[in-house]
Amino acid sequence: MRIIAEIPHHDFRITIFGWNNKYLIKFEKGSYEQTYKVSEMDVAGDEEIKKLLEDKGFVDSVISRFLEMNKSLNAALNRLDGQH
């Protein structure tokens, strides 16, 4: 696996990897991660995969998903705590 780019963002860390004829776009925020796999056949190269990260709707959905992940984990931990 090779690192293609690390994209600066104020809400999370973004790393793009190349692996097995796919691009992996990894978003990291605290203890949470989201990874998207995109076939190299679906984009015209490294620069186009980076352009995907300029899509506001996509990035906004990543932010929402991080919030939902945190909410889900906290709810599960609260339920677990209530069992003791």
What pLDDT is recorded for position 33? 98
Give the integer Cα–Cα distance in Å for 48 and 71: 33
Give the integer Cα–Cα distance in Å for 53 and 16: 10
Name 15's bridge partners.
6, 26
What pLDDT is recorded for position 82? 81
Q: Does residue 81 register a pLDDT over 70? A: yes
Rounded to the nearest integer, the mean pLDDT of the chain is 95
What pLDDT is recorded for position 84? 66
Q: What is the DSSP letter of 83?
A: T
The number of domains in the chain is 1
Q: Which run of H or of E encompasses 34? A: strand 32-39
| Whether pTM exceeds 0.75 | yes
Position 78, amino acid: N
Domain that holds residue 62: 2-82
What pLDDT is recorded for position 42? 96
